[in-house]
Amino acid sequence: MIRVSTLASSSKGNATVIHGGGTVLMVDTGISATRIRKGLSECELSLPQIDGILYTHEHTDHLCGLGVLSKRTPLPIYCSRYLLPDLRDSAPNARFTCLEPGAPIQIGDFSVTAFCTSHDAVDPLGYLFECDGTRLGYITDTGRIMRGMRELLSDVDGLLLESNYDPDMLQNSGRPYPLIDRISGQWGHLSNEQACDFIREIAHPGLQALVLVHLSQDCNTPAIATRQMQHTLDELGLATRLHCAPATDRLPWVCIG
Ligand SMILES: [Zn+2]
Ligand SMILES: [Zn+2]
């Protein structure tokens, strides 16, 4: 079994805890060290129990807690080799392991495979986690679905999937046009529609749980994103449990497997 809990999930901060067997991993530390410690304690965990922190990319909403977190604890960090210089500046005493997209590595009881996402960052990555035959995918901050995601995640048991914006809300947000173009472009973020399209592509009865993540607080609402995805799941005849990660609060454990 794998269980997953988001500590925060939005353009203002992202951090996720994944637990399987005797291993605890985090993805991103984009909230303050204080909030991460508090979130971990709500998960009945603490920082020294974390076996690996994996980074998706260097944007502040995925990274900002690292500097303070790593001051007292030498963290085990996993990232793209292109991201290493940035992270080393923030966490000089961390232990680093570089990830190659498509090449699985073992971290405790997990096999972890990184894959490329399409985002305006240095070598951004998504992840597939496997533990005891259970498979969990994590896709965030990508302007489009790429072939590698379809191939790797077609039979996952659980998925955290970006559902960033509602296109009408984005167009009417009053934001400058270059920013609207950036968000909706192929190096930006996934819309609710794009998230639903991907679920249609990989739909299979074994998809037990789906967590919508990284919702924009200005250009989306949990009600809109959830309604649209639930409609898609109903159309497909899937009994998948649907969750929406709260922007600033913890999503309690979601169990898969
Ligand atoms: Zn982000
Ligand atoms: Zn980003």
Q: Is 229 inside a domain boundary?
A: yes
d(CA 132, CA 111): 9
- Cα of 140 to ligand 1 centre, how many Å? 7
So what's the pLDDT on residue 73? 87
Q: What's the gap in Å between 121 CA and the centre of ligand 2?
A: 7
Torsion, Cα 118 19 6 126, to 10 degrees, reads 0
Establish if 175 belongs to a structural domain: yes
Q: Note the ligand closest to the C-alpha atom of 142.
A: 2
**Residue 215 · residue 10 · CB < 8 Å:** yes
The reported pTM is 0.97
CA-based nearest residue to 126, from 169, 144, 239: 144
Q: For residue 168, how many other CB atoms are within 10 A of its CB?
A: 10
Considering its fold, how many domains does the chain have in total? Answer: 1
**Assigned domain for 28 exists:** yes
pLDDT at 187 over 90: yes
Q: Indicate which ligand has the atom closest to the C-alpha of 28.
A: 1
The 10s digit of each residue's pLDDT in 50-75 is 999 999 999 999 999 999 999 988 99
Looking at all shown ligands, the one closest to residue 14's CA atom is 1
6-10, 45-49, 69-73, 145-149: range with lowest mean pLDDT: 69-73
Q: How far is the CA of 118 from the centre of ligand 1 (A)?
A: 12
The answer as to whether 201 is a domain residue is yes
Considering the domain boundaries, does residue 255 fall inside one? no
Residues 6+ apart with CB under 8 A from 127: 27, 54, 56, 112, 113, 114, 115, 137, 138
DSSP 8-state class, residue 255? E
The 10s digit of each residue's pLDDT in 72-127 is: 889 999 999 999 999 999 999 999 999 999 999 999 999 999 999 999 999 999 99
pLDDT at 72: 84
Q: Which domain holds residue 242?
A: 2-248
Q: Is residue 232 part of a domain?
A: yes
Q: Enumerate residues with CB within 5 Å of ligand 1 (an ion).
A: 61, 141
Q: What percent of the chain has pLDDT over 70?
A: 100
256 domain residue, yes or no: no
Q: How far is the CA of 185 from the centre of ligand 1 (A)?
A: 14
The answer, yes or no, to whether residue 151 has pLDDT greater than 90, is: yes
The CATH number that applies at residue 44 is 3.60.15.10
